[in-house]
Chain A
Amino acid sequence: MKKRVLFFGVMALLVSAALCGCSGGKSTEASKPVKNSSEEAPAGSAAVSGMTGTAEAAEPAHGGSAVVGVTHELVSLDPHQSTDARTRSVVFNLYEGLVKPDPDGNLIPAVASDYEISDDATVYTFTLRDGVKFHDGTTVTAEDVKYSIERYAEIQGESSAFSVFDHVEIPDEKTVEIYLKEGYSEFLPEITFGIIPRSNPDPEKNPVGTGPFCFVSYTPGQKLEVERFGDYWQEGLPYLDHVEFKITADADTAFMELQAGTIDILDFLTGAQAKAAGEGCQILEGTQNMVQGMFLNHSYGPLSSLKVRQAVCYAVNKEEINQFLYDGRSYLIGSHMVPRLVRYYEPAPEALYPYDMEKARELLAEAGYPDGFDLEIVATTASTQYMDAAQIIADQLSRVGIRATIRPVEWSTWLDEVYRGRQFQATVVGFDGTLAPNYWMMRYTTGHSKNFMNYSNAEYDETCQKALMTVDDREKAELYKRCQMILAEDAESVFIQDPANYVAVNRRLGGYVFYPLSAQDMSVVYEK
């Protein structure tokens, strides 16, 4: 009898020992060890090497690889399809358009070497750059450009921003002329979509472009692998041989991988994560180029009153939100524009509604709501930023008597109910960066299909229309700045911040740059 017990006991012990042996070994296949480089920047140097151009003292070495953490799915590898900013930021490395953005938000020639705009802004003429090759080895011809433009127009459709496009002409093999239906001075940002070869039957599964990296493989939901394109037209770029975009379902997992070293670059870290990132990473600071705020539905009773909206603006402590979520590094805004788009940005709205609980209560009383009112804030569960911000705002509003509740919805539901259906009272969300300001500003005109806030102001409509029509950039900027002031004076919504974008970069890499819109430019990153 004792024997049996002993037998089982020993078995159990053996097995548990075996299991411990299994799991006890430290994994040795971590990514490359951090090199002991003497020219490393001191710890805590934020916002140094990332913000401006890539001018470095010594010529960076070629070769090496990097893993970029991507916390969202890639909608499509077809450059004419991918409509969301995050996907675009990744495929930025595979494709280029006739022009492409540089880190300051200017459009520089890419596949085209030069361009001209007619005086009435109805004809855009591009000269093709010599010797630009596709990843499959063929040279880019005017035919390919024409094909790409026409395909893009068709996919985008009649009611998209590209609908102003009329037709393309090829006077000779080095020139492409784009004719517009009417004068449109902000057409250039629309031409940044990828140029692809006419001969490629399936751009989705077999991505071929002119970008610094070419496609290797794609496992949906897991990773995208690209490698150096040897025939890239820009001399000396890219530096890295191999880049893997690792797709992880959520930011927390990605962060853990960053700490473990299996991911080298990760953006959109929260303030707390930036602090906890560890010695192996450098934290670079930029902004997300997003207009984040609590958007108010003007058809909801209390919110139709200017005073009430102003009260809400006074009641929201933007600094506190900034402090909690981004350690105070975000850029607090007052209207719908990102600060990085300097020539269009109007700073005056920032000071319009400082945090003032007393004023808020006063205004509420004046407007007929001395005891506050109920407000349901919709936030999407897709992003913790919004959910967290909503919680903080709800807490702040409750202190002036506005009884705020939070209704979380999935992204799909948000798009359907809030964005299209306009069934909401207030919602916390952010809108991504864009190079063409009319994209945002037109949204607020009366009756616009994307005016989900039901805002209407005749002066705004007029000013915005004029701005769109104006070809002269300086005049246009003045008009758009006026638009931003109107929105702020009207307390259209509570514009909170352009959130800080903490990017963690493994110390063995250098050269990372920020763009004013979604772009993860891996061509300028190198191993130290």
Chain B
Amino acid sequence: MMKMKKNWNLIIGLSITGVILTAAVAAQFWTPYSVTEMDASSVNLAPSLVHLMGTDNFGRDVFSRTLNGIGITFLTASLAVAIGAFAGILLGAVTGYYGGLFDELVMGVVNMILAFPSILLALIFISFLGVGTGNLIAALGILYIPPFVRIVRSEMIRCRDLDFVRSARVMGVGTGRIIYSHILPNALISILSTLTVTFNNAVLSEAGMSYLGLGVQPPVPSLGRMLSEAQPYLGINPWYGIFPGLLILLLILGIALVNEGLQREKA
């Protein structure tokens, strides 16, 4: 008798992510202090009951900014992944199903993009497009199309010659429907898994780009940027640098655990 092990990874992962997400959404509507308001008398304070995470070099409350910032990170990453997933799944389905020269071309480009380190590509994109959150989302979105293309395409290839698909075709079911109702559901877990991995990459890329000054721009708070702002003050107020990073860490951990959980389910 197999013991039904609880999928701890999934549970913990979803919990962590859930908490962060809730806090992030709430922070969009209300924060203990204004996210942009500066206060010259409270510069670089250590965490206290008044300011849970201390203040930054402009006297802004780090707690408010961090929570708000993670909302921005969430939003940016989600949008980017959404773009990638949408376009990628479509493209992957089409190219996987039909194959041929088109497929070869697409896969050539896809493999090329996948081979490059993503921060580099994002950097080059942004340098040419100009900075800004919108541009960042667009750049990342394009970068994240390949992983989805790959996963859906391989599922297509695997399934398209299977019996049940053949019989569906014989029965006259339209291609679209075949893809949608019969083949994709098999790929669901893989797609979800790819979603989580890509999401984490997006979070890291956004944070990295913002750290370099090329991502989300002030005064909109961004965790990556806060880390770069905090660096010169590490000697005076290390907390300013620790909290944003910690939150990124937690978010990524949460999502990674969810991914782990999904893998278990698949196996």
Contacts and interface: CB of A to CB of B under 8 A. Distances in A.
Interface of A: 252, 255, 259, 272-273, 276, 320, 323-324, 381, 387-388, 391-392, 394-395, 398, 406-409, 413
Contacts of A259: 235
B40, B213, B236, most chain A CB atoms within 10 A: B40
Given A272-B232, A272-B236, A394 B219 contact: yes
A272 B44 contact: yes
Interface in B13-66: 36-38, 40, 43-44, 57-59
A381 B213 contact: yes
A388 B40 CA distance: 13
B236 A320 contact: no
Contact of A276 (B58, B130, B235): B235
Contacts of B131: 381, 408-409
A272 B235 CA distance: 11
Contacts of B57: 272, 324
A259 B232 CA distance: 11
Give the interface SS of chain A, mostly helix, strand, loop or mixed. helix
A412 to B, nearest CB: 11
A388 B36 CA distance: 12
Given A272-B232, A392-B58, A408-B213, 14 more contacts: A259-B235, A272-B236, A273-B232, A276-B236, A320-B38, A323-B40, A324-B43, A324-B59, A381-B131, A381-B213, A387-B218, A388-B58, A391-B218, A394-B36
A259 B234 CA distance: 13
Interface in B100-135: 130-131
Contacts, number: 52
Contacts of B232: 252, 255, 272-273
B219 A395 contact: yes
Nearest to A390: B218
Given A272-B233, A272-B236, A276-B236, A408 B40 contact: no
Contacts of A391: 36, 38, 58, 218-219
B231 interface: yes
A387 B131 CA distance: 14
Contacts of A392: 38, 58
20 contacts: A272-B57, A272-B232, A273-B232, A276-B235, A276-B236, A320-B38, A324-B43, A324-B58, A381-B131, A391-B36, A391-B218, A394-B219, A395-B36, A395-B37, A398-B36, A406-B217, A406-B218, A406-B219, A408-B131, A408-B213
A413 B232 CA distance: 27
> What are the 5 A-B residue pairs with the smallest beta carbon separation, nearest first?
A252-B232, A323-B40, A408-B217, A391-B219, A391-B218
Nearest to A404: B219
Contacts of A413: 130
A406 B216 CA distance: 11
